Chain A
Amino acid sequence: MRKLLITASVLALGLAVMPASAETIRWARNSDALTLDPHSQNQGTTHTFVHHIYETLVDRDVEGSLQPRLATEWKVKEDDPTVWVFKIREGVKFHDGSDFTAEDVVFSLDRARSEKSNLKQLHSAVESVTAVDDYTVEVKMTGPSPLYPNNLTNTFIMDKGWTEKNNAVEVQQAGSTDDNYAVRNTNGTGPYILESRDPDVRSVLKINANHWAEKKPDITEIIYLPIADNATRVAALLSGEVDLVQDVPVQDVERLANTAGINVETGPENRFIYFGYRFGDAPLKSSNVTDKNPINDPRVREAMHLAIDRNAIQKVVMRGQSIPTGVANPPFVNGWTPELAAYPEKADVARAKELLAEAGYPDGFSITLDTPNNRYVNDEAISQAVVGMLGQIGIKVTLASRPIAQHSPLIQNSETDFYLLGWGVPTFDSAYTFNDLIHTKAGHFGAYNPSGYTNPELDKQIESLATEIDLDKRNATIAEIWKKVQEDRVLLPIHVQVLAYAMKDKFSLAVHPENQPRMYEVTVNK
């Protein structure tokens, strides 16, 4: 009996030493982070993983709004609208024990906007970064930049001393032949510490007991497992070898939701799928109409808009896992309104045919549609559906399907007449979309506008958004731009993608609009 008591008390002691609940989550998704160097890649999978180790000044929550993280507050300087002032969190330590100060922020922002960084575009309006004192940083912009903090949600803060000591001040660049220490080693301030990493196989993160946040995460250990094959990933969840699957194939969502012991969370992603086409007088390259460009006629674009049955695509192609939309803007992004997002409930084939006839194409015309086949959810199937729908009004579409690595050059080099593309809005503001998709392709603007659509007046309005400090006035301009974009049918939006996370039902985690689930936000149901 005494022996038993002793055993029991030893056990109790053991339990007392352990954290309240040691909980491991095995997290599977389709691919691995490319690198651990936080400024080397501007890529979602990499950012998602790195968010557990490093931290940003501000963060985006599941509703899409900005939250303080390493910065406790931020505001535009009172006497100078071109300067942003960040108050830095006190008492934060890096994993190696060194103190986190304004110096580290200055160093990291400078590194992130350095020539070799892939994040430099987000910081292109920054002129200089200075530390005012240990806990205040001022960022001087080239002009008023009312939305700059939106660009900081994936700019991670590194330790200056550590990075310098390990010769990793320069960002590793693709194609360079030198090995960079920061690619495989980390020293962040985040809630987890990297314990081991075998790229493409398995990474283990252990909780950071000294993390500044008051609320300790339920999850104390993360095992990150990239599983490329869809069926295997789902099978691993069903067989109990993983706890959470991030990239659930649409065809499995319903089946998993009906499986006992598995909980599926869905929610809209910050990404819309749309079609674009070539404007301008020059004839299309892939059409039987060789003397002019049918798309340049607004009636033809309207006819195409009317011919597409978005609800059918949602139901048949996406199996319900999408939110059809009439505007190229996800719902939580500034500038979105339900009126803009309205779309024809059903295809109006008769009216579309009438419009085509009015435009002088009673028998339609032919055109080639370029589509990626491995980038977005069911991208090729969406295009196939649209080929059929346009066929009903006499537009004969030839489908050219390619992997994204071959599809993107067509967009960049404006070598396509008609294309499918997906677009995310990391700043959660319409200006981001206008800059790249609507503005005339010139200089820093219109990088993803291969259509040749150009409207100098609109361009001017778009450019004004970057520096307008009066937010009401700015929002009014955004509304005006959207109105014009919709009138001209510059883009042919289809839907907003829906994300699904499947997990064992003892865990719960809401879908993150940027598909950046945070394991420290997982709750364990007891």
Chain B
Amino acid sequence: MLAFILRRLAQSIVVMAVVALIAFMLFRYVGDPVASLLGQDSRLQDFEELRERLGLNDPFYVQFGRFIANAVQGEFGISYRLQQPVSELILSRLPATIELAFASAIIALVFGLSLGVFTALKPRSFAAGLIMTLSLVGVSLPTFLIGIGLIYVFAVELQWLPSFGRGDVVRIGSWDTGLLTSTGIRSLILPAITLSLFQLTLIMRLVRAEMLEVLRQDYIRFARARGLSNRAINFGHALKNTMVPVITITGLQLGSVIAFSIVTETVFQWPGVGSLFINSVQVVDVPVMAAYLMFIAFVFVVINLIVDILYFAVDPRLRIGSGRR
């Protein structure tokens, strides 16, 4: 187990380094940061000076080496745009993104699981058919459209919920939480639903398919023959055996929820790292972009690791397998 984790960690470092390299190669095509830093009144000479000072005239590998050397020490530089240390910026934006991601993951998991089980157990009912049809909407509509749609219905027309922002936040240590104020909770609802919709339908369809598959298995039939209660069969045996793929998908999806909350954050002006990233891309704020991509790579690496460890917990066969090796 320990060896497995260590091996995974070693692989992670390689992954992070490759992400950094690819990110750096891409930055050269995003545009010229100097163009957005200096205004219309600047002279060519100013441009040249600034480029020199930012080290943009150095060859690619020199810039990359400098970035890695600093990143290893946890130093990501100063944002070109906001002129504040990047690590500070990202840390201050992180609570918003994490709260949003977890809220939407919980919505997706709770509703995805229960609806999935329901549609699997009563596949021919009218309600199941309706749910399955509606779930197509969740999979196929782009996030920004869902977001704007929700804003128009619940913020503009009904005026029940706020259309943007995070409401009032309470500071606990270095963590700004919106979960303790009523405006914070109200602000969280629409973005969390928007962000969760895709994952929700995905989990639901996955659970349903797996569940239908498992319910056909012999051991379920034997269990029924033994006279076990429906509840024990459906939840004790069938559902448990569907969990491995569900955990994988949910885990990976949590990573993408954090990473791809960009669109939702932009639509709802949610002050998280995603909107920070978008604002930075527009002005080619390389230090923020680089740090953000490294951070996302890190999130994925960690989540993958946790998912792998969870397999051990859920599936006894894996434990036996590693014991033999």
Contact present for A118 and B162 (CB under 8 Å)? no
Q: Does A226 contact B (CB under 8 A)?
A: yes
Which residues, 445 to 465 on A, are CB-close (under 8 Å) to B?
Answer: 447-448
Which residues, 279 to 299 on B, are CB-close (under 8 Å) to A?
Answer: 279, 282-284
Would you give the 0/1 interface string for B27-39, flagging 1 where the beta carbon is closer than 8 Å to chain A?
0001111011111
A424 CA / B41 CA spacing, docked (Å): 10
Chain A residue numbers with a CB within 8 Å of B31 are 402-406, 409
Chain B CB within 10 A, most for which of A177, A228, A423: A228
Which residues, 31 to 59 on B, are CB-close (under 8 Å) to A?
Answer: 31-33, 35-44, 46-47, 50, 53-55
Would you give the 0/1 interface string for A117-155, flagging 1 where the beta carbon is closer than 8 Å to chain B?
011011000000000000000000000000000000000
A168 CA / B260 CA spacing, docked (Å): 38
Q: Does A69 contact B (CB under 8 A)?
A: no
Chain A residue numbers with a CB within 8 Å of B36 are 404-405, 408
Chain B CB within 10 A, most for which of A172, A232, A233, A402: A232
Chain A residue numbers with a CB within 8 Å of B275 are 200, 228
Contact present for B40 and A448 (CB under 8 Å)? yes
Contact present for A174 and B40 (CB under 8 Å)? no
Q: Does A43 contact B (CB under 8 A)?
A: yes
Q: Does A183 contact B (CB under 8 A)?
A: yes
Contact present for A235 and B156 (CB under 8 Å)? yes
A176 CA / B50 CA spacing, docked (Å): 10
> Smallest distance from the beta carbon of A240 to chain B beta carbons, Å?
7
Chain A residue numbers with a CB within 8 Å of B271 are 198, 200-201
Assess A118 versus B163: contact at CB under 8 Å? Given A231-B151, A239-B156: no
- The segment out of B18-26, B81-89, B103-111, B120-128 that lies at the interface is B81-89
Neighbour of A405 across the interface among B54, B55, B82, B284, CB < 8 A: B284
Contact present for A409 and B32 (CB under 8 Å)? yes
Contact present for B151 and A235 (CB under 8 Å)? yes
> Smallest distance from the beta carbon of B154 to chain A beta carbons, Å?
9
A236 CA / B187 CA spacing, docked (Å): 13
Would you give the 0/1 interface string for B163-194, flagging 1 where the beta carbon is closer than 8 Å to chain A?
11110000000000000000000000000000
Contact present for A176 and B78 (CB under 8 Å)? yes
Chain A residue numbers with a CB within 8 Å of B44 are 412, 447
Q: Does B198 contact A (CB under 8 A)?
A: no
Chain B residue numbers with a CB within 8 Å of A172 are 83
Would you give the 0/1 interface string for B139-154, flagging 1 where the beta carbon is closer than 8 Å to chain A?
0000000001001100
Assess A241 versus B155: contact at CB under 8 Å? Given A229-B266, A232-B267, A236-B163: yes
- B interface bracket (residues with beta carbon within 8 Å of A): 35 or more
A175 CA / B159 CA spacing, docked (Å): 44
Contact present for A179 and B84 (CB under 8 Å)? yes
> Smallest distance from the beta carbon of A27 to chain B beta carbons, Å?
14
> Smallest distance from the beta carbon of B214 to chain A beta carbons, Å?
43
A233 CA / B267 CA spacing, docked (Å): 9
Contact present for B163 and A409 (CB under 8 Å)? no
Assess A235 versus B165: contact at CB under 8 Å? Given A199-B84, A201-B271: no
Neighbour of A199 across the interface among B55, B82, B85, CB < 8 A: B82
Q: Does B101 contact A (CB under 8 A)?
A: no
Q: Does A469 contact B (CB under 8 A)?
A: no
Contact present for B30 and A118 (CB under 8 Å)? no
Which residues, 203 to 240 on A, are CB-close (under 8 Å) to B?
Answer: 225-229, 231-233, 235-236, 238-240
Contact present for A34 and B40 (CB under 8 Å)? no
Q: Does B67 contact A (CB under 8 A)?
A: no
Q: Does A186 contact B (CB under 8 A)?
A: no
Contact present for B159 and A239 (CB under 8 Å)? yes
Contact present for A409 and B165 (CB under 8 Å)? no
> Smallest distance from the beta carbon of A185 to chain B beta carbons, Å?
13
**Count of A-B residue pairs with CB < 8 Å:** 146
A198 CA / B283 CA spacing, docked (Å): 19
Q: Does B117 contact A (CB under 8 A)?
A: no
Contact present for B39 and A374 (CB under 8 Å)? no
Contact present for A228 and B278 (CB under 8 Å)? yes
Chain A residue numbers with a CB within 8 Å of B162 are 239, 241
> Smallest distance from the beta carbon of A312 to chain B beta carbons, Å?
29
Q: Does A314 contact B (CB under 8 A)?
A: no
Chain B residue with minimal CB distance to A172? B83
Chain B residue numbers with a CB within 8 Å of A266 are none
Q: Does A31 contact B (CB under 8 A)?
A: yes
> Smallest distance from the beta carbon of B43 to chain A beta carbons, Å?
6
Assess A35 versus B82: contact at CB under 8 Å? Given A121-B43, A241-B164: yes
> Smallest distance from the beta carbon of B3 to chain A beta carbons, Å?
41
Chain A residue numbers with a CB within 8 Å of B80 are 174-175
Contact present for A177 and B77 (CB under 8 Å)? yes
A179 CA / B162 CA spacing, docked (Å): 35
Which residues, 398 to 438 on A, are CB-close (under 8 Å) to B?
Answer: 402-409, 412, 423-424, 426, 436
> Smallest distance from the beta carbon of B250 to chain A beta carbons, Å?
29
Assess A229 versus B282: contact at CB under 8 Å? Given A121-B43, A405-B33: no
Assess A406 versus B32: contact at CB under 8 Å? Given A175-B54, A238-B156: yes
Chain A residue numbers with a CB within 8 Å of B77 are 177
A294 CA / B212 CA spacing, docked (Å): 71
A228 CA / B41 CA spacing, docked (Å): 25
Contact present for A236 and B82 (CB under 8 Å)? no
A487 CA / B215 CA spacing, docked (Å): 84
Contact present for B54 and A240 (CB under 8 Å)? no
Q: Does A444 contact B (CB under 8 A)?
A: yes
Contact present for B282 and A202 (CB under 8 Å)? no
Chain B residue numbers with a CB within 8 Å of A231 are 148, 151, 267
Contact present for B83 and A235 (CB under 8 Å)? no
Contact present for B50 and A175 (CB under 8 Å)? yes
Chain A residue numbers with a CB within 8 Å of B284 are 405
Contact present for A405 and B84 (CB under 8 Å)? no
A174 CA / B36 CA spacing, docked (Å): 11
Chain B residue numbers with a CB within 8 Å of A403 are 31, 282
Assess A179 versus B276: contact at CB under 8 Å? Given A225-B165, A404-B36: no
Contact present for B78 and A408 (CB under 8 Å)? no
Chain B residue numbers with a CB within 8 Å of A368 are none
Chain B residue numbers with a CB within 8 Å of A200 are 82, 271, 275-276, 279
Contact present for B50 and A174 (CB under 8 Å)? yes
Chain A residue numbers with a CB within 8 Å of B151 are 231-232, 235, 239
Assess A34 versus B43: contact at CB under 8 Å? Given A241-B164, A406-B32: no
> Smallest distance from the beta carbon of B30 to chain A beta carbons, Å?
7
Chain A residue numbers with a CB within 8 Å of B300 are none
Chain A CB within 10 A, most for which of B41, B77, B152, B283: B41
A115 CA / B40 CA spacing, docked (Å): 17
Contact present for A227 and B81 (CB under 8 Å)? no
Contact present for B35 and A232 (CB under 8 Å)? no
Q: List 19 A-B contacts (CB under 8 A).
A: A40-B83, A118-B42, A119-B41, A121-B46, A174-B80, A177-B77, A200-B82, A200-B276, A202-B165, A229-B266, A239-B151, A239-B162, A241-B155, A405-B282, A406-B32, A412-B35, A412-B44, A423-B40, A424-B40
Residues of A within 8 A of B (CB): 31, 34-35, 37, 40-43, 118-119, 121-122, 172-177, 179-180, 183-184, 198-202, 225-229, 231-233, 235-236, 238-241, 374, 402-409, 412, 423-424, 426, 436, 444, 447-448
- Please name the 6 residue pairs, one residue from A and one from B, whose CB atoms are nearest each other, closest first: A405-B31, A408-B35, A406-B31, A42-B39, A175-B54, A121-B41
Question: Given A122-B41, A174-B54, A201-B271, 8 other A-B contacts at CB below 8 A?
Answer: A175-B50, A179-B85, A225-B165, A226-B269, A231-B151, A232-B267, A239-B162, A447-B43
